Chain A
Amino acid sequence: MTLASSAAVPGAIPAPIIEYSQLAPMLVVFSAAIVGVLVEAFVPRALRRAVHLVVAFASLAAAFVWTCVIAGTSSLFANGAAGHVAAMGAVGVDRPTLFIQGTILVLAFVSVMLIADSSQDVSVFAGQAAAAPGSPEEREGLLAGLVHTEVYPLVLFAVGGMLLFPASNDLLTMFVALEVLSLPLYLLCGLARRRRLLSHEAAVKYFLLGAFSSAFFLFGIAMLYGFSGSVRLSSIAQAASTNAANDTLLFAGIALTGVGLLFKIGAVPFQSWKPDVYQGAPTPVTALMASCTVVSAFGALLRVFYVAFGTLTWDWRPAMWVVAILTMVVGAIIAITQRDVKRLLAYSSIAHAGFILTAVIAASAAGLSGSLFYLATYGITTIGAFAVITLVRDPGGEANHLSRWAGLGKRSPLVAGIFALFLLGFAGIPLTSGFTGKFAVFQAAIGGGALPLVVVGVVSSAIAAFFYVRVIVVMFFSDPVPDGPEVVVPSLFTGTAVALGAVATLFFGIIPAPLLDLASHAANQLFVR
C-alpha cells in the first residue's frame, strides 16, 4: 500500500505519508485476519471458534463504525472536495467508496453469521480439506471431529481485499486487492463438508478462470501504463484526454482491464464460472460471494470507468451496451432451465449484474447513486435468500433441487413465505426493495439516453419473473413430496440473517427515502480523482 510513484532525490528515500486514520477500516480488518491466524496457532481447539467469532464480529463492527466516522469527517470534504487521495496516491477516500465499504462491512457481518452457524452439522465446512474425498484420512478426521476454523481469518482477508478493491486509486493496488480478495475465496469454495467433489470442482474452476481473468487485468494495466506512463487512474484519464497518439494501447487496455472487472461481477460473456461456483461452494460462502464480492467488484468497475475512462464514455459505451444486453438476456433465459436453487440464484445474479450495468453506462451521478442503492439492497436480499437455502435440508445435506421444494409452503409457511418475499424482491415487484432499486437504475439509464437498453431490461425482468414465480408455484401450489426435506429451525445466527434480509427487503421497498438519500449524497460528487 505504500507504493510511491514519485522519484525523489537520489540516495534519499522519502518516508511515505500514510493517513492511518483514513485507512483504519481496512487496517482493522486485515489486522483481525492476522490475529485470526495467530488464534489458529495458539488458542486451544475448544476455544477457537468462540475467539474467532469475537475477533471477526468485533473487527467488522469496528471497521463499520470507523467508516461512518470518516464519512462524517467534514474536513475531508471541505470546500467541495470529492474526498482525499490517501497513502501516496494509492487509495481514494471519497463518499462513494465509503458507501461501498460500509455496505460490504454490513453484508460481511451478516454473511459471517451464516458462516458461523454450526447448529445442524458440526459446521458446513470440511473437517480436513486436504484429505481426499472418500479416503481413510477423511474418515479419521471426521471421527476425530476435526473442524476447520481457518475459515474466519480467510473470510477476513477476503473482506479486507474487498474493502481495498473499490478504493484503489491506482491499478497496481487494485490488482493486489483483487488477488487478496480472490485467493481466500478460491480456498473457501473448496471447503464444503458435503458433496465435496462438487465443491472441489468449484474451487478449481474458480481458481483457473479467476487466474485467467487476473492475467487479462494485469495485461490491461501494462497496456495502460504503456499508453500513459502511469498506473494512477487520474493520470490515465489525463493522458487519455490529451494524448491521441497511442489509441490502440489505450483501447486494448480498456478492453483488458474491463474483462478482468466484468469477470468478477459475472457479466456475460465472462459468466461461465458463476453457476458452478455458486452451486459447489458452501452456501454461506456463496452468500458472501453473491453479496460482498459483487458489491466490491462493481465498486471497482465504477471507479475505473468513471475516473480513468470517464472522458472516453463514447468509446466504451457501445461495448458496454452489448455486454449489458447480453448479461440481462442470457442470465434471464438460461435461468429458466435451471432445476437447482443455487444455480438458479447464480443466473439470477448474472441478470441482476446486467441491470446494474445499465446504470453504470449512464456515467452520471444518478447512475452511480442508483448502482449504490441497488447493490446495497440486492446484497442483503441475496444473503437472506441463501440463508433460507441452508435451512431446507435432506439427511445428506441441503436439498437444493427444486423438485424437493414442492409443497414447502404447506409444511413451513413462514420460511416459504419469506423466501417468496425474497423472490418477489428479485423480480422487482413494487413495495419490495428490488423494485425501488430497479427504478433507480432504469431511471438513471433513461436519463442517460439509454431507453432501448431499459426496454431490454424490462423484457428480461419479465423473463426473469417467470422463474422466480415458478419457484413460488413449486413451493405453494404443488403438493408436498413424500419424505420431503425437513426445514430446520434456524439458529439464532441464521434466523437473524433471514430476518434482516426480510425486513430490509420490505423496509427499503416501502420507505426507501433514507437510503436513497444516503446513496445520492454519496454519489453527487462522484469519485475523487
Chain B
Amino acid sequence: MNSFPWLTVAGGIPLLGAVVLVLVPSRGALSPGDSAPGDSAPGDIAARNRLAKLLALAFSLVTLVWVIVMATRFNASGPRYQLTETYSWIPQFGVHYAVGVDGIALVLIGMTAVLQPAVILASWNDVDVLGKPVKNYFALMMVLQTMTIGVFAATDVFLFYVFFEAMLIPMYFMIGSFGVGARQYAAVKFLLYSLLGGLLMLVAVIALYVYSGESAATGHHGTFLIQTLVNVTLSSTTQKWLFLGFFIAFAIKAPLWPFHTWLPDATASAQPGAAVLMLGVMDKVGTFGMIRYCLELFPAAAHYFTVLIITLAVISVLYGAIVAIGQTSLKRLIGYTSISHFGFIVLGIFALTSQGGSGATLYMVNHGFVTGALFLLIGFLIARRGSDKIADYGGVQKIMPVFAGLFLVSGLAGLSMPGLSTFVSEFLVLVGTFDRYKVPAVFATVGIILAAIYILWMYQRTMNGPTPEPVAAQLTGRDLRARELLAVVPLVALIIAMGVYPKPVLDVINPAVHSTLTQIHVTDPVPAHPATAQNGAQP
C-alpha cells in the first residue's frame, strides 16, 4: 500500500527549507568577530539576505531534482494513482493522510517544481528595498510550495481541503506584507473571496462525509478517500448541491467570470514573483479541482451544469481578453489575460471529451510557464523603470534587445502562436469543444484573435517606436543580467520544446483524463474529422 514516500519528501523539502530560512539569524554578523553583536551594518544585512536567498534557491533546486527523479518512477500506463501513501490521520472522522498522483497531478507538481527556482531567482532583489525581513518572503514561498504539492498530491478530500485553505495564508502574507500599492486591500480581498468559497466547500466536504457514511459502498463508514468516494452513489439533488459547493470554491480560485474580481487587484499588488506563484500555480488548483473532484465525485451534476459552466467559460474567455486590451497597467493586463486563459481551461474540462480534457490539463502547465515567463519579464522591466504603466515605456527593444526577444517569444506563446506550447493545448481544447458544442467553440475561437490584439498591441507600445527620454536614461545598457536570464531562459526553452514536441507530457496526461471520463461514463462523440480521432490527442 505504502510506497517509498516520494511525495511526502517532495512536499517536505520546501517546508524544511522554510524552517531553515527562518532560523537564519536576523541580528548580528554572520560570522562571529566580524562586528559587534547587535550591530546591523548594511553589509551584514545584505550578507544575511544573500544567504537566505541562496538557501531558498538550493532547497528549490533539490525539490526540482527530487520531483524529476520521482517522475521517472511514474508509469503512465500503470494504475491510476501511483506513489501512494496512506496513513490514518483522524480516525474519528475517517480522515487519512493519503497522497498519490495520477498523470494530471504529476505534471502539475512538475510545473510547480520548475517554476519555484525560476521565481526565486527572479525575485532576488524584489523585496530588499522594502526594509522588511527578506528571508520571510522566501520562507513564505517555500511554505506555499509545500502546500501546493500537497494539494495536488492529496487523495483524501479532507487533506485536499486542508491544503486548499492553508495555502491562502502564505500568499496572504506575501501580498499583504511584501506587496506594492493597495496591498492591504488586495490581500484582504483575496483572502476573503477565497475563504468564502472555501467555507462553502467545507459544507460540501462535511456533507460528502456524512452521506458517504450512509452508503453501502463504504461499508457505512464515512470516508474521505477519493478512490472509495467515487463508488458512492448520491441522489441527483444531493449531487447538484454538493457540486455547487465544490465548484464555486474552484471557480473563485480559478478564477471564472463572475467570481474573478479579486484577481486583478491581487495581481497588481503582488510582487512579480508572488503573482507568478498565484497565477501559475495556486489558481491551477481551481481547475485541477474541477477535474478531480467536480467531475469524478458528482458526474450527474457535472452533466447537468455543463451548459451553464461552458457559457461562463466562454464569457470568461471573451471578457478577460477584451478587458485586457483596455488595461493601462502591465500587471493588470496579464491578470486579465489569465482570466481569459482560465476560461479556455474550464471550457476544455467541461467539454467532456478526451481532447478537451487533455488540452485543458496541458493548458494548465503551459499557462504556468508562459504567464510565469511573461510576468517575470515584466517584473524585470518594472524593477528598472519603477512603473508598471504601459504609457511609461516605448522603444525598449532598441536598448534591451535580449529582453525584447524573450518578451516577444513569451508574448507569442500567450497568443497561441503555432510552434509554441500554448498552441497545442488551445487547439486541443477547441477541437474537443467543437466536437460537442459548436457555437461555444466558435465564440471561444474569437478569443484567440483578441489575444493577438492585447499581446501585440502591448508589445508595440512598450518595445517598438521611439524611445522616450526617461526610458532611455533608465534602461540603456541595462539589458538582462545573468541571474535574470537564468530564471527566464529555461521557461522560454520549455515553451518552445513543449510546442514542438508535447508528446511526452501528453502521454502522461492522457491515461488520467481517459480514466476520469470513463469514471463519469462519457465517450467521445463521433469525431467531426476522422484524422483528429485517429491521432488521438496529438495535433
Contacts and interface: CB of A to CB of B under 8 A. Distances in A.
Contact of B206 (A429, A439, A478): A439
Nearest to B205: A439
Contacts of B91: 513, 517
A458 B196 CA distance: 8
Contacts, number: 90
Contact of B203 (A455, A465, A473): A455
B130 to A, nearest CB: 11
B179 to A, nearest CB: 9
B177 interface: yes
A436 B93 CA distance: 10
Nearest to B90: A513
B169 interface: yes
A513 B184 contact: no
Contacts of A477: 176-177, 183-184, 187
Q: How big is the B interface, by class?
A: 35 or more
A466 B192 contact: yes
B452 interface: no
Contacts of A435: 162, 165
B188 interface: yes
Most buried by B among A429, A431, A512: A429
B90 A470 contact: no
A424 B202 contact: no
Nearest to A447: B210
Interface string A455-498: 10011011001100110110011100000000000000000000
A430 B161 contact: yes
A429 B176 CA distance: 18
A451 interface: yes
B207 interface: yes
Given A430-B165, A465-B192, A469-B191, A443 B93 contact: yes
B93 A439 contact: yes
Contacts of A378: none
Given A439-B93, A465-B195, A473-B187, A429 B203 contact: no
Nearest to B175: A477
B209 interface: yes
**Binding site secondary structure of chain B:** helix
B200 interface: yes
A520 B192 CA distance: 33
A446 interface: yes
Interface in B207-239: 207, 209-210, 213
Given A443-B93, A469-B191, A429 B209 contact: no
A440 B93 CA distance: 8
Contacts of A461: 195, 199
Contacts of A513: 89-92
B253 to A, nearest CB: 15
Given A443-B209, A446-B206, A462-B196, A424 B169 contact: yes
A442 B206 CA distance: 7
Contact of B92 (A409, A442, A476, A520): A520
B166 interface: yes
Given A424-B169, A465-B195, A516 B92 contact: yes
Contact of B207 (A451, A472, A473, A520): A451
Interface residues of A, number: 38
A454 interface: yes
Contacts of A466: 188, 192
A461 B199 CA distance: 8
A476 B173 contact: yes
Given A429-B169, A512-B90, A443 B184 contact: no
Contacts of A458: 199-200, 202-203
Contacts of B183: 477
A506 to B, nearest CB: 12
A442 B203 CA distance: 8
A228 to B, nearest CB: 36
A470 B188 contact: yes
B113 to A, nearest CB: 23
A373 to B, nearest CB: 9
A410 B184 CA distance: 15
B168 to A, nearest CB: 8
B192 A443 contact: no
Nearest to B202: A458
Most buried by A among B93, B168, B183: B93
Most buried by A among B92, B163, B172, B213: B92
Interface string A510-522: 0011001100100
Contact of A516 (B90, B168, B191, B203): B90
Contacts of A446: 203, 206-207, 210
A430 B199 contact: no
A123 B151 CA distance: 49
Given A442-B206, A446-B207, A466-B192, A517 B199 contact: no
A517 B92 CA distance: 7
A446 B91 CA distance: 19
Contact of A462 (B89, B184, B199): B199
Interface in B447-491: none
A478 B184 contact: yes
A209 B162 CA distance: 42
Contacts of B191: 465, 469
Contacts of A430: 161-163, 165-166
Contacts of B173: 476
A403 B213 CA distance: 48
A332 B504 CA distance: 52
A478 B184 CA distance: 8
B205 to A, nearest CB: 9
A159 B89 CA distance: 35
A454 B206 contact: yes
A473 B166 contact: no
Contacts of B202: 438-439, 442, 458
Contacts of A439: 93, 202, 206
B229 to A, nearest CB: 16
Given A462-B196, A473-B187, A454 B203 contact: yes
Contacts of A520: 92
B360 to A, nearest CB: 27
Contact of A473 (B92, B176, B209): B176
Contact of A443 (B188, B199, B206): B206
A439 to B, nearest CB: 7
Interface in A63-115: none
A431 B176 contact: no
Interface string B2-16: 000000000000000
Nearest to B92: A516
A142 B213 CA distance: 64
A458 B177 CA distance: 27
A34 B183 CA distance: 57
B177 A476 contact: yes
Interface in B141-183: 161-163, 165-166, 168-169, 172-173, 176-177, 183
Nearest to A448: B210
A436 B92 CA distance: 11
Contacts of B187: 473, 477
18 contacts: A429-B165, A429-B168, A430-B165, A431-B162, A439-B206, A442-B203, A446-B203, A459-B196, A461-B199, A465-B191, A465-B195, A466-B188, A466-B192, A469-B192, A473-B184, A513-B89, A513-B92, A516-B93
Given A429-B169, A469-B172, A513-B90, 7 more contacts: A427-B195, A430-B166, A442-B202, A446-B203, A451-B207, A462-B196, A477-B184
Interface of B: 89-93, 132-133, 161-163, 165-166, 168-169, 172-173, 176-177, 183-184, 187-188, 191-192, 195-196, 199-200, 202-203, 206-207, 209-210, 213
Interface of A: 409-410, 413, 424, 427, 429-431, 435-436, 438-440, 442-443, 446-447, 451, 454-455, 458-459, 461-462, 465-466, 469-470, 472-473, 476-478, 512-513, 516-517, 520
Report, nearest first, the 4 A-B pairs whose CB atoms are least far apart: A458-B199, A430-B162, A477-B176, A462-B196
